[in-house]
A and B are shown apart, each in its own frame.
Chain A
Amino acid sequence: MAGTLRDLAQKDLAPKSDAGSRRADRLRRQRRRATLEAFSAPALAFALLAIWQICVPLFNVSEFVLPTPIDILSRVVTDYRLLLTHAWITGAEVVVGFLCAAVVGILVALAVFYSRMVERAVYPLLIAVQTIPKVALAPLVVLYLGYDWGPKLFLSFLISFFPIVVATVVGLKGLDKGYANLVRSMGASEAQVFLKVRLPAALPSIFGSFKVALSLAVIGAVLGEYVAAERGLGYLQLQANANFDVTLNFAAVFVIALLGVALYSIILFVEKVVGDKQGARS
């Protein structure tokens, strides 16, 4: 067995085996290409940061106006305790606001999908309300909900709610009627039609909207903190501005971005788990 394997391996490596070497060549080229593609995004980001890093001293820009990436990073490291306490607050606001938007959004979408009455009455209203810039509501929200968790949660909920409703309705409506008819012909109840066909078919657009909604939820929470807060990364930025501490301001921006990326990755992970479970279900 081992002998035959070695023979095979040798045959594959032999230079006179023309087809074999060509195949190996192609494989090598494919692998090189894949590696290049995988590293292209980080490489570009790194290059841009390097330009930033070089240009600041090159053009004699003061640190108080524009800190270099290394300055910002070292500030993140030294002040990590401060940043973390505020990041917790903002993170909690984003997560709770987003989860409320996801639950309420999907429930509203179901009502719109299953009830013609609700669709006629509520859906046009939703679309109309969506045209109002939520940012413009922030001062009013503070007026009604005060300075505590209220306005931040409400703003991050409000801003991320609409895309979830719309995408879920579109996802549910996009299904070819024939699928529902097929499953009904097997004797399925409407609950089964929903669980076996409608929901799985709508999942890609629901998860797509989750990704959009999450970044919006971050905007909502930080916006709430700009308007009225005593804690959170948005509040920290205002504090840094008041102290002319541009580096800390940038460090807060960096942590906000990090928070968004982390939460986004969680959604990607959940999407993958749900997809795998669906594919493997027996």
Chain B
Amino acid sequence: MNAPVSSFEAVERVGQRSGNGIAVKIDHVQKIFETRDGHEVIALEGADLAVSAGEFVAVVGPSGCGKSTLLSMIAGIENPTSGRILVDNHLLSGPNPRTSVVFQNDYLLPWRNIINNVLLPLEIKRLDTRLYRERAEALLTQVGLAGFGGRFPSELSGGMRQRVAICRAVIQEPGLLLMDEPFGALDALTREQMIMDLQNLWLRLKNTVVFITHGIDEAVFLADRVIVMSPRPGRIDMQLDIDLPRPRKWNEIHSNPGFTEAVAKVRGRFEEQGVLKAG
């Protein structure tokens, strides 16, 4: 499925942290959609981005800037119109088996209980799910859902369901975790807790994360690097390294000058774009 690209020299491996994460390289990627009436809409215009193994990258941008399209293409469920994407040094031509995706909607299958939802990716890969049952239960315990394995999604709150979706995504310890506004549908309190939990999970897994969000504060809080995108047609507009020590604490970080400065910079960029109005 993935052809090795030995001749491709531009795979950067700067700042590699551990063997668990896998690198992503996005090279002049463009996506053009054709609407029903034959018009062409440029969703993404020539994106270039290199994510090193084990790096946490957050992508922020206004609605319709193509950030979700970018994520779908890295996930291998959509093809770029032009350009290429390398995941784990392989040219992408379909979903990479070491990649997992978490969407804004949890997409738990309502007819399966929680444990069988978590085990779904293994079933798709035709692995023996019995071998992973214990790990699935341990994961559920880690996210505060011990004993919920036999329940059904309809019995859980939105936050709990999204926790299950994250368990399902990390059951095979993916080298690359793609998250598309995973906390966008949650209330403020739940979101805050989930942001903290995600940080802890990532500090344990040390994998590569591409995290797409509307929230400037959660992007700066979580990421090693924040990518700011422009309004449609989407381009990568600005990159900002976040050098704050970890683990970061949500209740303390708002008084950290490094944090507030970074948030102000991203905000300022949105104001220049005309996405946000100053004052």
Contacts and interface: CB of A to CB of B under 8 A. Distances in A.
Given A178-B105, A184-B95, 12 more contacts: A181-B77, A182-B103, A183-B120, A185-B76, A185-B99, A185-B101, A186-B125, A187-B94, A188-B124, A192-B124, A196-B124, A279-B111
* B94, B105, B124, B133 pick with most chain A CB within 10 angstroms: B124
Contact of B77 (A179, A185, A200): A185
Nearest to A275: B111
Contact of A183 (B94, B99, B124): B124
Contacts, number: 58
A253 interface: no
Contact of A187 (B72, B95, B111, B152): B95
Nearest to A179: B107
B124 A178 contact: no
Contacts of A197: 109
A282 interface: yes
B69 to A, nearest CB: 12
B123 A200 contact: no
A179 B101 CA distance: 12
Interface of B: 72, 75-77, 94-95, 97, 99-101, 103, 105, 107, 109, 111-113, 116, 119-121, 123-125, 129-130, 133, 152
A278 interface: yes
A199 to B, nearest CB: 11
Contacts of A278: 111-112
A281 interface: yes
Consensus secondary structure, chain A interface? helix
Interface string A155-194: 0000000000000000000001011011111111000100
A198 to B, nearest CB: 11
Interface of A: 176, 178-179, 181-188, 192, 196-197, 200, 275, 278-279, 281-282
Nearest to A182: B107
Contacts of B105: 176, 178
Given A181-B77, A282-B116, A186 B121 contact: yes
A187 to B, nearest CB: 5
Contacts of B116: 281-282
27 contacts: A176-B105, A176-B107, A178-B107, A179-B107, A181-B72, A182-B101, A182-B103, A184-B77, A185-B77, A185-B100, A185-B101, A186-B95, A186-B100, A187-B94, A187-B97, A187-B124, A188-B124, A192-B124, A196-B120, A196-B123, A196-B124, A197-B109, A200-B109, A278-B112, A281-B116, A282-B116, A282-B133
A196 B109 CA distance: 9
B124 A282 contact: no
A185 B130 contact: no
A120 to B, nearest CB: 14
Contacts of A196: 109, 120, 123-124
Contacts of A200: 109, 111
* B107, B130, B152 pick with most chain A CB within 10 angstroms: B107
B125 A279 contact: no
Nearest to A200: B111
B129 A282 contact: yes
* A179, A183, A197 pick with most chain B CB within 10 angstroms: A183
Contacts of A178: 103, 105, 107
A178 B101 CA distance: 11
B130 A282 contact: yes
A188 B99 CA distance: 13
A282 B107 CA distance: 18
Nearest to B152: A279
Contacts of A176: 105, 107
A101 B103 CA distance: 39
A193 B34 CA distance: 25
Contacts of B107: 176, 178-179, 182
Contacts of B77: 181, 184-185
A92 B100 CA distance: 51
Contacts of B129: 282
* A176, A182, A196 pick with most chain B CB within 10 angstroms: A182
Contacts of B123: 196
Contacts of B113: 279
A268 B107 CA distance: 28
A259 to B, nearest CB: 31
